[in-house]
Chain A
Amino acid sequence: MIKMKSGRRMLAAALTCLAATAGYSQTTEPAAAPAAAAPVSWSTFSGWKRYHGNCATCHGPDGMGGTFAPSLVNSLKAIDQDKFMDTVVNGKANAQLAMPSFGADPNVMCYIEDIYGYLKARSDGALPRGRPANPPAKPKDFADAEAACMGV
């Protein structure tokens, strides 16, 4: 069995590192003009990718919501980053719906800032639906932090 290399401390360290590279392109362009959208940052692109790898199964493509879980485009209008982090790390449960805890999952935690940034951009109307256009090449510091955090 493959074991997770990093403990929480390592995750936390990597997260701090990732946080430094986080931040998404804030454009005031309305979502209706995707062709003219400014190129996204790697972090936003990474957030798009990881969101669709780990979250979209329930929360739907582009954060739009699915039949199992709410639209995060809407939710992020109501909750702040702390509450977002708390929910992702610890999960929550009720009778019909359940959000798993991702606190020990590097596939989510190594990219949590990216995912938040991506969703916030979607929520703010700064980013249209779909794969962000013209993503940059993966920056070296990001690749190094990713390798350390993921352990693969």
Chain B
Amino acid sequence: MMKLRYAGLLCASAMLLAPVSSASANDELLTMQTDASQWVMPLGNYSSTRFSTLKQINRDNVKNMRVAWSFSTGVLRGHEGGPLVIGNMMYVHTPFPNKVFALDLSKDGAIAWTYEPRQDNKVIAIMCCDTVNRGVAYAAGKIFLHQSDTTLVALDAKTGKVAWSAVDGDPNVGETGTSAPTIAGNLVLIGNSGGEFGVRGHMTAYDIATGKQVWRAYSQGPDSDTLMDPKKTTVLGKAVGKDSGLAGWKGDQWKLGGGTTWGWTSFDPTTNTIFYGSGNPGTWNPAQRPGDNRWSMTIWARDLTTGKAKWVYQMTPHDEWDYDGINEMVLVDRQWKGKDRKLLVHFDRNGFAYVMDRMSGELLGAEKFDPAVNWASSVDLKTGLPVRVPEMSTEKTGEDIPTKGICPAALGSKDQQPVSYSPDTGLFYIPGNHVCMDYEPTKVAYVAGSPYVGATLLMYPPKGETNLGRFVAWDPVAQKSVWEIKEQFSVWSGPLATSGGVVFYGTMEGYLKAVDAKTGEVLYRFKTPSGIIGNINTYTFGGKQYVAVLSGVGGWAAIGMAAGLSGDTDGLGAVGAYRGLSDYTNLGGTLTVFEVPG
């Protein structure tokens, strides 16, 4: 049945996307990602646009939207990511203990199978920012799950039976798994978590048929670890040189070098290249790790088949604020200054929206997407270096002294929650944080498996403001925001833009909102059972369009917000203007599926 359905689409999609290797077991995904009736990968398609051409639900009728059905996951804590829809099955994942439910859409969402791995619950305590998981992946009749304990498991999509499993890392030293797998060619790729534990970040490729490790690429260390070629791998057009992943570290500190890879991976099949980012370097106390700390906080372009690095760009050398560079890389083809370019657009934690030529790694643009950003005044496009504001340097201020009023906070102007890009409006839709911080570095000793943080943070909204979140429509070419919606709490939900002229997103109080893609006018909202930190998707079943989202408040932002972020000594003049998230919502994982009747 599935084969027949895709056959009709093959011709059309072959014109858009030329598969690079003829024999890939999952060439089907190149086709499936263009089929709007399904949602086949976490970010919707390989370009990570989270856009759907469906338009049954549109700006005229979305006001009539209602709940079609819902499903409890039975799991508390933060539900990030979102379900996949493959044929008549929906695959729903949960935070630890990482259950997977296969729901049969032809039987009103009846449970076809459930999978629950056996994991040592000690792993809960080493997950810095809640026991989140950002979703499963599909290919070749299998569902791939990246467990908290770093195990990657392949399940038969029909039965839930384990086909193979592979262990990616060691929770005893603080390595965990939170990211969704990415499947490209014959490989399933996973990045690791544990940046608050002094682990080494790496991206690893496994054979989808057997689970055998094919390559592993670290974020630091000698060329044999980073899979960099001293002459061929480039940074802003220049060769990186020998062992560049050892440069910018004092002594052996690269061995505690962080640079974890817990975000999202995009894939350009025309050049066989994957794109992802690396996170914070080692401890958050910058004085304890002198140097540029390469290649933390870096955008990576690697050859899919070999893992060899094509180009890199380090956004925040020698981080002093925990601005992980792991946010998604969106691949769009647009005119840039009169010339057709293959672009990579990235909204970084550090508050800058980067535009790069994804073929060459050239830096084309970098502008603040939140006006509150104050740690750097600009980014020098020639050197690629941020122009830092000395008053905001936590290293200059020194250990045991707070540097006050830094924007953004460590949460970033945006965290992992992925953006959406609409080719219809040409706009990006950014789920944003609007939080500043005091940051006080302290001495920290490394103990394997214990937090290696070394900083105390206070977070609060920018001076004179009370909203902790923003939902922003952004023109990537003009590098300007077009409209924005202020939200009381961080927007920690990946939006969905559709050809219906509507953008959907969730809020931490639990609202699913539908807004006009052109104007930001709120057209519909519904309060789901718990706060939303999941990503919205859409699909059709029986010819009818549905919109689905996971609720289940938690995640990093919810830690502080649950108790209210503002201390009463902050002197913001906003005491009492906003209260804790716990006044608005409660824990609990629920899937809610929406429809427009008729």
Spell out A's residues near B (CB within 8 Å).
1-2, 4, 34, 48-50, 52-54, 56-58, 60-62, 64-68, 71, 91, 93-100, 102, 104-107, 128-131, 133, 138, 146, 150-152
Known A-B contacts A53-B454, A105-B447, A106-B447; A67 and B130 likewise in contact (beta carbons under 8 Å): yes
Q: Is B128 part of the contact surface with A, judged by Cβ < 8 Å?
A: yes
For B565-587 the 0/1 string (1 means CB < 8 A from A) is 10111100000000010000001
Q: Is the CB of B562 within 8 A of A107?
A: no
Partner pick for B442 among A53, A57, A104, CB 8 A cutoff: A53
Min distance, Cβ A29 to any Cβ of chain B, angstroms? 13
Q: Knowing that A66-B562, A130-B567 are A-B contacts, what are 14 other residue pairs whose CB atoms are under 8 Å apart, sorted by A's residue number? A: A2-B256, A4-B445, A49-B442, A58-B559, A60-B563, A61-B458, A66-B559, A67-B554, A95-B121, A105-B447, A131-B402, A146-B443, A152-B288, A152-B444
Residues on B with beta carbons closer than 8 Å to the beta carbon of A62: 563, 567
B450 contacts A105, C-beta separation under 8 Å: yes
Among residues of B, the one whose C-beta sits closest to the C-beta of A111 is B442
Considering only CB atoms, which chain B residue lies closest to A54 in the complex? B451
A64 with B563: in contact, given A98-B125, A131-B569 (CB under 8 Å)? Answer: yes
Q: A49-B440, A107-B451 are in contact. Are A60 and B124 (CB under 8 A)?
A: no
For B446, list chain A residues within 8 Å (CB): 1-2, 4
B76 on the A face (CB < 8 A): yes
* B274 beta carbon closer than 8 Å to chain A: no
Q: Roughly how many angstroms separate A73 CA and B456 CA in the complex, as a whole number?
A: 19
Structural contact, A52 and B447, CB atoms closer than 8 A: no
Docked-complex contact A57 and B563, CB < 8 angstroms: no
Q: How far is the CB of B35 from chain A (nearest CB, A)?
A: 37
8 pairs across A/B with beta carbons < 8 Å?
A: A2-B446, A48-B456, A57-B128, A60-B562, A62-B567, A64-B580, A131-B567, A131-B569
- List chain B positions with a Cβ less than 8 A from chain A: 76-78, 121-122, 124-126, 128-131, 196, 252, 255-256, 288, 400, 402, 438, 440, 442-448, 450-451, 453-459, 553-554, 558-560, 562-565, 567-570, 580, 587
Complex Cα spacing A128 to B569, Å: 8
B558 / chain A contacts, CB cutoff of 8 Å: 66-67
Whether B559 lies near A131 (C-beta < 8 A) is: no
Residues of A within 8 A of B76 (CB): 96
Q: Chain A residues near B451 (CB, 8 Å)?
A: 53-54, 57, 105, 107
Contacts of B256 in A (CB 8 A): 1-2
In Å, the complex CA distance between A105 and B565 comes to 27
Residues in A neighbouring B454, C-beta threshold 8 A: 53, 107
Contact A98 B122, beta carbon cutoff 8 Å? yes
Most chain B CB atoms below 10 A, which of A56, A60, A151: A60
Query: From B567, which residue of chain A is reached at the shortest CB distance?
Result: A130
Chain A min CB distance to B338 (Å): 48
Contact between chains at A60 and B559 (CB < 8 Å)? yes
Given A53-B456, A100-B122, A130-B568, A68:B77 Cβ within 8 A: yes
Instruction: Name the residue in A48, A67, A97, A105 with the highest tally of chain B Cβ atoms < 10 Å from its Cβ.
Output: A67
Q: Report the minimum CB–CB distance from B281 to chain A (whole Å).
A: 15
Are B445 and A107 in contact, with the CB atoms below 8 A? yes
**Which chain A residue has the least Cβ–Cβ distance from B252?**
A1
Complex Cα gap A3–B126 (Å): 19
A2 to B444: give the CA distance in the assembly, Å.
11
A67 contacts across to B, CB distance below 8 A: 77-78, 130, 553-554, 558-559, 562, 587
For residue A128, give the distance in angstroms from its CB to the closest CB of chain B. 6
Distance of A67 Cα from B447 Cα, bound (Å) = 26
Best-buried of B256, B288, B553, B563 by chain A (most CB within 10 Å): B563
Q: How far is the CB of A121 from chain B (nearest CB, A)?
A: 14
A54 to B554, CA, bound (A): 19
Asked if B124 contacts A49 (CB within 8 A), the reply is no
Per the bound structure, the CA–CA distance linking A138 and B458 in Å amounts to: 21
Taking the nearest CB of chain A, how far is it from the CB of B459, in angstroms? 8
Q: Is the CB of A107 within 8 A of B447?
A: yes
Q: Give the complex CA separation of A80 and B597 in angstroms.
A: 58
Contact, CB under 8 Å: A97 / B124: yes
